[in-house]
Amino acid sequence: MKGGPMKPLKQLTIGEMFSETVREYKDCDAIVYSKEEVRYTYQEFYGETAKIAKALMGLGIKKGDHVAVWATNVPEWLLLQFATARMGAVLVTVNTSYQEHELEYLMKQSDSKALFLIDGFKGTSYTDMLQSIMSTPGHPLTKLKHVIYIGSGPGPEGMSGWNEFLMQAAGVSDEELEMREKDLNQHDVINMQYTSGTTGFPKGVMLTHHNIVNNAYLVASAMNLTSQDRLCIPVPFFHCFGCVLSTMAAVTVGAAMVPIVEFSPDLVLETVERERCTGLQGVPTMFISELSLDSFPSYDLSSLRTGIMAGSPCPVEVMKKVMDQMGMKEITICYGQTESSPVITQTTVTDSIERKVETVGRPHPHVEVKIINPVTGEESPLFEQGELCTRGYLVMKGYYNMPDATNDAIDGEGWLHTGDLATMDEEGYIKITGRLKDMIIRGGENIYPREIEEFLYKHPDIIDVQVIGVPDKKYGERTAACIRLRSGASLSADEIRTYCQGKIAFYKIPEYCFFMNEYPMTASGKIQKFKLREQALVWIKEKV
């Protein structure tokens, strides 16, 4: 099935699209950090990104070089997103929850030449972690030449400060930046985001200007987003939700971006009220947190109209409250994955509440979707479950330096195999019914069991572990580890969690640990994870 109706795709680089928006909306608000009192019009935003683009060129960053950003939703992140796009560097986004070994893997695998980072997040020191890696004799980050500290004053030892970095712009002329921009092609890779796989090794998804500009534009169109809108953005920029569905979507139509540096339900509602935001983004857990505040009734949210809820299924009662109590009658639901830039399907602003909670909408324009039998590869009839595949402008260029993984994901006819199970009705609405692989979605974060299993296997007392997801009202799912210990060993759930702390991201740490002597298995020796889930639910209910 093809999505429709059709608007022509934009044949522009991000910089060209940005320039068009600036010409039309130069005096309109582009960026508003309400709490931090940082504001830029589109003309000012364009000027600031030019300075940063020239500073990057002054550092010696070439077209196609990889530049990583490890930060919360600070203004510098947003400025770097568009500055790198203008001068042709590939922006590598780093998850704010990463710990040392995850950072080391990403920086090495991505071949990043520069890293921009803040001091830290949620009690974790980014600067300490990086210095620990870099101080190790024979460390693997041989291609990392520049580390720039995003913060006031000089950077820590071995790092340049932000103002020192900006001084590099003095040696690059406007004409040199203009020549660099003209040298870019819309099909160049410009963004790389990391997503895990069943092997446990994260993969760098390579996205082009063409991928991102058009996905963002079509997302904005589905939201009815215009230059009159003010979009509150509490979702993290390092996710495609933040940097495509939110910031890039706003820029494609000249809307104002109103980011939240670190999510806080109170701050979101205060910002919506103060800035008269018309749109709000979030995963279901964010909306639940906002609605649950004792102070919720005191906020004036009458300006709200549209937005996106994505990342995990939305409970119907939550959707009702978002539409009725928050006034977001035109909220939409999106489905996709990083490999598809990311949105494949989306509901419309006029879809019924049933469509918004029971389906993920219909395919976007210019997007082909088919549901296939995973065994035969043949297209499935309507209403019959199969694997969802997609094809079109939105499909990634591939995984960085992983040709085999790329060939596994994209077949010879250009179809991206999502690994998600789905059904389609006669009107083209799609329901996601499960996953071919046992990915866990906790509060909008994709968790891949194999990655956690590989880590826990390192514990000397663990001989086998199976990680599963169990349903949860707040987060959608929580992680549970079903563990077999070596003979004579004794471990508690708290000891397992302590072992994980500081080594893997907090959201990957198993929230339930069950110790067992054997696993349910098929006759062929395959572990039946669905039976583990059933047993885990029984144990959880017994504990409650």
376 found inside a domain: yes
Q: Which residues of the chain have pLDDT under 50?
A: 197-199, 523-525
Q: Please tell me whether residues 311 and 367 are part of one structural domain.
A: no
- Looking at residue 487, what is its pLDDT? 84
> Model's pTM, two decimal places?
0.84
Q: Please tell me whether residues 219 and 262 are part of one structural domain.
A: yes
In 3D, which of 193, 210, 191, 205 has the Cα closest to residue 393?
A: 210
Q: What is the DSSP string of 183-248?
A: T--TTSEEEEEEE--TTS--EEEEEEHHHHHHHHHHHHHHHT--TT-EEEE-S-TTSHHHHTTTHH
5 found inside a domain: no
* Domain end position, chosen among 435, 463, 494: 435
8 found inside a domain: no
83 found inside a domain: yes
* Domain end position, chosen among 297, 329, 353: 353
Q: Please tell me whether residues 215 and 345 are part of one structural domain.
A: yes
Q: Please tell me whether residues 84 and 155 are part of one structural domain.
A: yes
Q: Please tell me whether residues 492 and 419 are part of one structural domain.
A: no
185 found inside a domain: yes
Beta strand 462-472 pairing with 362-363 = unpaired
- Looking at residue 227, what is its pLDDT? 98
- CATH assignment of the domain containing 384: 2.30.38.10
Q: pLDDT digits over 58-89, tens only?
A: 999 999 999 999 999 999 999 999 999 999 99
Mean pLDDT rounded to a whole number for the chain: 93
Q: Determine the longest span between alpha carbons in the chain, in angstroms.
A: 72
* Domain end position, chosen among 417, 435, 453: 435
Range of the domain at 471: 440-543
6 found inside a domain: no
Q: Please tell me whether residues 327 and 376 are part of one structural domain.
A: no
Q: Please tell me whether residues 429 and 444 are part of one structural domain.
A: no
- Looking at residue 524, what is its pLDDT? 37
- Looking at residue 544, what is its pLDDT? 55
4 found inside a domain: no
Q: Please tell me whether residues 465 and 505 are part of one structural domain.
A: yes
Question: CB count, 10 Å around CB of 138?
Answer: 5
- Looking at residue 199, what is its pLDDT? 41
Q: Please tell me whether residues 460 and 535 are part of one structural domain.
A: yes
Q: Please tell me whether residues 202 and 337 are part of one structural domain.
A: yes
- CATH assignment of the domain containing 450: 3.30.300.30
Q: pLDDT digits over 375-401, tens only?
A: 799 999 999 988 999 999 999 999 999
- Looking at residue 198, what is its pLDDT? 36
Q: Please tell me whether residues 289 and 429 are part of one structural domain.
A: no
Q: How many domains does the chain have?
A: 3
Q: Please tell me whether residues 394 and 258 are part of one structural domain.
A: no
